[in-house]
Structures are given as structure tokens and as C-alpha cells.
Structure 1
Amino acid sequence: SIVEFAGEGYDTIQTALGSLKMADNVEALIYTGSGSFFGQGNAGDNVIRGGVNRDTLMGHAGNDILIGGGGAANELHGGTGDDIYVITGGDTIIEYAGEGFDTVQTALSSFTLRLNVEALTYIGSGDFTGTGTSEDNVITGGAGNDTLAGRGGNDILIGGGGIDTASYANAASGVDARLNNGVARNDGDGGVDTLVGIENLTGSAFDDVLIGDAGNNFLSGGTGRDTLLGLGGDDTLIGGAGAPNQLQGGTGDDTYILTVNDTVVELAGEGIDTIITATLTGYTLGAHVENLTYTGAAAFTGTGNGLDNVITGGSGNDVLRGAGGDDTLIGGDGMDIAVLTGLRADYLIEQISGGWRITDTVAARDGVDLLYGVEAVRFGDGQILSATPAAGVDAGAGKDPGPQVQPALFETDVLDRLDAGPRWVAYGGHALTLPADEVGVLHTVDGWDWLS
């Protein structure tokens, strides 16, 4: 037997026995065997550590620390007091109502609290997903990029280091979460959350209000009709599928990822902002938004505004319109066409490295546009010319075989070779047949066709 009296130091038992109950005034119990172990504490504050097999640890009274150890899943019961569970695997935690304020510490990449355990702390170094219960929880992330979800109750979500997200993706109703105030006034499950060190917000499947702060925020609305406001910083706003959303990035260089035709609000002088979509087949930039990028595979029509825009197509056959300003049009893959406003004769065309510079000589109209990866240019008078550096064949009077400083003119019923490179035939509204000894592919974009 072990006899210890109060105040006689911090004492530890190490054992390989299959079971042991700690004597009074002994503080720690460590199992050193290889089998299953049943270890019990006493009325004091104990540290009980299991081994590599399936263990059952009971703290009883006091503020205990239970460490199940590796290997098989363990059963841990802290008892009364404010207990700490150090979890390394799929352990079962048993806590009853009124048994104190209890905490799980874990280095697992994800963990969900069970009822009557109030706190969850990540002690690892990677990215962590921590989920609470309907009770009031404190969930603390680590140094990685963590995702924390309180799930009901008045929770405190503490991100720690890294770029951390408060997630309300599984909420039962709409959410109102505001990083600038550090609070989710409605967590969608009937609670009010306190947000500390949180950079990003994920909304629910319902109508949400998500507001960022002065930093760089990632706000994702979900499938409801959402209102997202980034405020300061370079924010990314995703309205989500479903009803159109209202998105306002605020100051900074903001990115809007659209799956439906959301309302995007930007004010003058609020940075260089970009629309990205993979699902819409056409989009026109609104006021004070500079850039448009299509990442899908379908044919896409992208239109700019009066600012200096960068418009980028995808892998399909795209139609790109700068619509004023000094624009950069990037076709991407597929057979792409750039559309200009004025007559062909109004433009100066220069070949530059990797593309073309087209200057509108009429003031305050198309400006100076740069074209990359664009196969053809259509002018306001209906003329189309090839925008590939290798010149080819012209299909009609007044149409150029390629953007050249000295364009050649040809009869409408004659096909002429310009060089030994690829041949291009451009036309609008009429069929055209190559001679029998030529091979071509007919391309159609926005009602205009050409052969390559």
C-alpha cells in the first residue's frame, strides 16, 4: 500500500498492473504496461496517463487531466471538477451535466465536442477543424488555418495564428456575423458568438449578413440571398448559388466569385477589383470594377466599362468587349474574338510581343487596347480581320488577312495566298468554300464565322 499525507509533495505512481486506484494525496498515475488498463484517481487534482492499448481512466473528484494515449480508443471519465482530456485518437469522453467546465486538448486535424464538455483547444501545428455543441463553448485554434464552428449556444471562437474561419455552414437559419464588431449577433442556431482572431466567414444555406473588417477577409455566403460587405482590405466575396446576392467589397483590391448574377457594388477609388465566374456565360462589368475573368469551358461574352479593364476568357470560344478605356483582352484557349466600336479605318494596329496593340484614333471611345490570345477582331462596320501574327487569306473587299500596317485588299470571289503559313478566311453572314486542295476548319463566334 501507498501512504501519502497532505502537503508531502507531488507524487506519481508508475505501474504495469491491469488496474489501479490512486491512494489519497498521490497526484499522478502513469501506466507503463502494454495491455488494457483501468486507472482511477482520487478526490484531488490528478494526472492519469494510459498506455498503447484500450484504457479506461476515471478521475473522480478534482480538476483532473486524463491522457488516453495512443492505440485503441479509450474511455475517459473526468468526474466532477474542471477536467482536461488530452485526445490523440478516437476516445470516448463521458461527462454529465453539472460536472464542471471541461476541456478537450487535441492535435488531431478535426474534433467535435460532445455534450457537457465546454471547451476545445487545438495543440497541433497544422490546420484544424473544431466543432462545438448546442451549449456555450470556447473553441481555440492553433497556428494553422483553422475552421471553427460553435453550433448553438453563446460561443467564443478564437482563431489563434494563421488565417482562420468561423463557419456557419450547418446553421439552422440565417446568420448575422460581423468581424468588425467581433460578434455573430445571430449564429443561426439561437446563439450569439464572440469572434477573436477570425479572418473569414462562411454563411449558411439561408439569408445571411456577413461583414468583414479592415483586414483581408474571405466571405462566403452559401445558397441563400446574402448580403456581404468586405470593408477594408483585399477581400474575396462569394455570394454562392441560389438567389442573387448583394456584394460590396469596400476599399482594397477585392475579388468577387460569382455563380449567379449577383449585384456588385464598388465606389470610385476603392481599389482594383475583379469579377471571376465559371458558371455565367456572359457578364458586363459594373461601375468601378476593373477586371473580369472567366474560368469555365463554355463560350463566354465578357464586356467591360469605361475604365481600363483586363478581360480574360476561358477555354471556349469567347467574345470580349473592352467598351471604353485602355483595355487588355486575353482570349485564352478556343477561338476568341475581340469586338471594337468604330470603323476599321479608325484604328491603328501594331504587332507587339505575344499580341497586338490597337489604337482608336477617335478620342474617348475604345482607347488603346492590348490583345493576347485573340484570333479575330470585329469592328463596328462589320469587318473582321484575323488577329493571328501569321497572315493568311482574306474573304472580302476591305477585310484584312491579319492586323497589318499595310492591309491587302482582294476580290470577294477569289482566294489569294499571302504566305506559306496558316490560312485564314473571315466573313460575316455568307458561306465561303475553299478550293478542293485546301483544308480548313469553320469557326463560329457570336454570329461571325471564319476558316483556319
Structure 2
Amino acid sequence: MTIWKGGGGDDILIGGSGIDRIDGGLGNDYLIGQEGNDVLLDGAGTNTLQGGTGNDIYAVQSIADTVFEFADEGIDEVQTFLGRYALPANVENLVFVGSADHTGIGTAHSNRLIGGAGNDYLVGGDGNDVLIDGQGLNTLQGGRGNDIYAVQSRDDTIVEFANEGTDQIQTFLAQYELRSHVEDLIFVGHTAHTGVGTSEDNRLTGASYNDHLTGGGGADIFDYRNAVNGYDVITDFDAADASSGHDQIDLTGRGLNFDDLTIKAQGAGTMVSFGGDTISLLNVGITSVNGADFLFG
């Protein structure tokens, strides 16, 4: 890495074809990274930062700075402690640092927005965005596109409107209930989870432990495409083939068909086993379970 540092005046610093670290220092500076994965630090003053090609990082201290990127020049990132920051065009990622409250706004493209230690408001805009809450009590709004929310707190507010894409929550929380207009819930980690869907069509994916899943209304899919080796309970599985809310268990990619499943009556419900996985379908009679309740392939 080549290190470049400006002085007390207005500097123009131009990096080379490798990895550069360019610090403007005092004054109103113009920093140009050119090729390579560069780090540009604005320093004091009103600055213009242009990373060039490569995956560049901009450390921004002033809202008056101009960050300049052309399309298809890499995956670029702004890191800042500013209270409010809107990503400039062709910069993909925004990371807030520090303990203050932040408002971060994405672009019309696909962005990754990461909150800090405060109470943050992250807005993805258009595109398929990833919003990561950080600490604090946060509000996450993906906007249009197929967005992913990485959620650490049940107290976070998720804002999605109808017809804005197929959106997904990923969380290690022990219990989570999907918010309106968010379709998919994926649990990660190695503890037991309780997941609840909405009145819409949802896809619920447990983790590698014993999960308790409730689809809610709608035609829901319970995702078992990957082996979890657990004992799960589905509380409201709708096995009625003609129902508009007919639910299904997704086993695609497992190399299974209906004859490979072990299906047994379990009180008023039905137990389905395959590989190391077992699912208890509460209040579903064994005669109601057939191949239409599963997705194979």
C-alpha cells in the first residue's frame, strides 16, 4: 500500500495503479485513487474524493464533501459518523460508525446499509438492498426491490409497503414475527426459534435446532431444502389441496420423493420424517397429507 498525505493547503493527490491510502489533511482537497482498492480520507475542508476503478473506501467527515464514482468501477463504500448521509450515485455501501443516531439513505441501485451503535433510520430506496441494524432501536425501510433485513433486535421497526418486492428477514433472535409486506423469514444460529408469519404468503426457514413455526394466513412454504437435523413443529399447516391457503414443505434439492418420507399419525396431528429431520404437523390428520403438500426436485 502506498500512503499519500496532504498538507495544510488545498491539495490534489493522485494515487497509482496499486492500493493507495490518501489523506487530504487540511484544506479543500481533491483526492483521486485511480486503479486499485483505495482508501480516501477527507480530512478538514470541503473535499472532492474520486476513487476510480476498484473497491474503494471513503472515510467522510463532512456533509459538504463530494464523492465521485462512475458506474461499474467496483463495490465502493462510505464510512462516516455523520448524523445523516445519502449515498452518492454509483457508491454501493454505507457504514455508520460511532454511537450517535444516524439517518442513512441509499440510491436507486442495490445498496448495503449498516447501522451503528445509536438509533438509526436506514432507507434503501430502489434496488435489492441489505439493511443491517447495528445496536439501538432502529427503523429499517428497504423500499422497492427484494430487500434483506439483518435484525438483531425485536424492537426494530421494519417498514415495507405492498408490491415493493419479495423481502426477507434474517435473524438469530429466539422469537420473531414477520412484519406486514415482508415475505420471508430465515433463522440463523444454533438455538431453538419461534417464527410467525403474516396473513400473506410467506416462506419460513428454521435453523439447525428445534423450531416452532406458524405460517399465519396465506399459502406458506416451510423451507427444508437444507438438512437441519432437528425436531420442528408447524402449528397451522394447511394441507387442504383446494384451499387458497394451501401450505407446502419445500424439499427441493434433497434428492427425495414422497415415497422417501416416513409419515405417521401423532395424536390429532401427523409426524413427517426425512433424513435427520422430523416435522410435527399439529392438528393435521394423516389422511390429509399427500404429495401435493411437498415440493420435490
TM over 0.5: yes
The residue aligned with 1:136 is: 46
Equivalent residues of 1:137, 1:150 under 8 A apart? no
Residue 122 (structure 1) aligns with: 33
Structure 2 residue 53 is the aligned partner of structure 1 residue 175: no
Q: CA, structure 1 residues 136+250, in 2 after alignment: closer, same or farther (shift >3 Å)?
A: same
In the alignment, what sits opposite 2:113?
Answer: 219
2:151 aligns with: 258
Judged with a 3 Å threshold, the aligned counterparts in structure 2 of structure 1 residues 323 and 270 are, in CA distance, closer, same or farther, namely same
Per-residue CA distance 1:254-286 (angstroms, 9 max, x = gap): 1111111211111111111111113x1111111
Larger Rg: 1
Residue 360 of structure 1 aligns with which residue?
A: 240
Q: TM-score, normalised by structure 2?
A: 0.77
Aligned to 2:232, which of 319, 337, 345? 337
Q: Determine whether 1:304 maps to 2:197.
A: yes
Q: Is the 8 A contact 1:318 1:334 kept in 2?
A: no
Provide the rounded CA distance (Å) in 2 between the counterparts of 1:94 and 1:237.
35
User: 1:282 and 1:204 mapped to 2: Cα distance?
Assistant: 28
2:209 maps to which residue?
Answer: 316
CA drift at 1:148: 0.8
Query: Does 2:273 correspond to 1:388?
Result: yes
CA contact (8 A) 1:146 1:165 kept: yes
Determine which of 169, 178, 198 is the counterpart of 1:285.
178
Q: Distance in 1 between matches of 2:287 and 2:274?
A: 7
CA separation of 1:273 and 1:213: change in aligned 2, threshold 3 A: same
- State the match for 1:105 in structure 2: 15
Alignment of 1:220-235 (within 5 A): 220-235=114-129
CA 384–109 in structure 1, closer or farther in 2 if over 3 Å, else same: farther
Q: Cα gap change, 1:250/1:89 in structure 2, threshold over 3 Å: closer, same or farther?
A: closer
Aligned residues: percent identity?
29
Write the deviation string for residues 308-358 of structure 1: whole angstroms up to 9, x where unpaired.
Answer: 11111112222222112111112441313232338xxxxxxxxxxxxxxx6
AA of the residue aligned to 2:248: D
User: Contact (CA 8 Å) 1:308, 1:327: kept in 2 or not?
Assistant: yes
Q: Pick from 59, 62, 67: which aligns with 1:149?
A: 59
Task: Give the aligned CA root-mean-square deviation in angstroms.
Answer: 3.4
Is 1:166 matched up with 2:59? no
Q: State whether residues 254 and 271 of structure 1, in contact with CA within 8 Å, keep that contact through their aligned partners in structure 2.
A: yes
Distance 1:314 1:341, change over 3 A: closer
Query: Would the aligned equivalents of 2:189 and 2:208 in 1 still touch at CA under 8 Å?
Result: yes
Contact 2:191-2:209 at 8 Å conserved across structures: yes
C-alpha change, 1:231 and 1:154, in structure 2 (3 Å) is: closer
Measure the CA separation in 1 of the matches of 2:264 and 2:161. Answer: 32
Structure 1 stretches of 5 or more lacking a match? 1-87, 180-194, 343-357, 391-397, 406-452
Query: Aligned in 2, Cα 1:109/1:175: closer, same or farther, shift over 3 Å?
Result: farther
What whole-Å deviation, never above 9, does each CA across 1:207-246 have from its counterpart, x for those lacking one? 11111222212111112101111222211111212x2211
For residues 401-416 of structure 1, the aligned pairs below 5 Å read none
User: Is the aligned partner of 1:268 residue 2:158?
Assistant: no
Deviation at 1:367, TM superposition (A): 2.3
Maintained 8 Å contact 2:160/2:180? yes
**Cα deviation, residue 141, structure 1:** 1.0
> TM-score under structure 1 normalisation?
0.52
How far apart, in 1, do the equivalents of 2:263 and 2:114 lie?
38
CA–CA separation in structure 2 for the residues paired with 1:154 and 1:216? 24
Find the aligned partners of 1:270 and 1:399 in 2 and give their Cα distance. 34
Q: 1:399 to 1:245 in 2, by over 3 A?
A: closer
Alpha-carbon shift at residue 403 of structure 1 (Å): 8.4
- 1:309 and 1:214 mapped to 2: Cα distance? 26
Question: Contact 1:146/1:159 (CA < 8 Å) preserved in 2?
Answer: no
Matched residue, 1:354? none
Gap change, CA 1:89 and 1:149, over 3 Å in 2? closer
Question: Partner of 2:257 in structure 1?
Answer: none
Using the alignment, how far apart are the partners of 2:147 and 2:79 within structure 1? 21
Other-structure match for 1:439: none
After superposition, the Cα gap between the structure-2 partners of 1:89 and 1:333, relative to the gap in structure 1 and judged at 3 Å, is same
8 Å Cα contact 1:130/1:147 also seen in 2: yes
Letter in 1 for 2:229: G
Tell me, yes or no, if the aligned pair for 2:262 and 2:274 is still in contact at 8 Å: no
What displacement does 1:371 show? 4.7
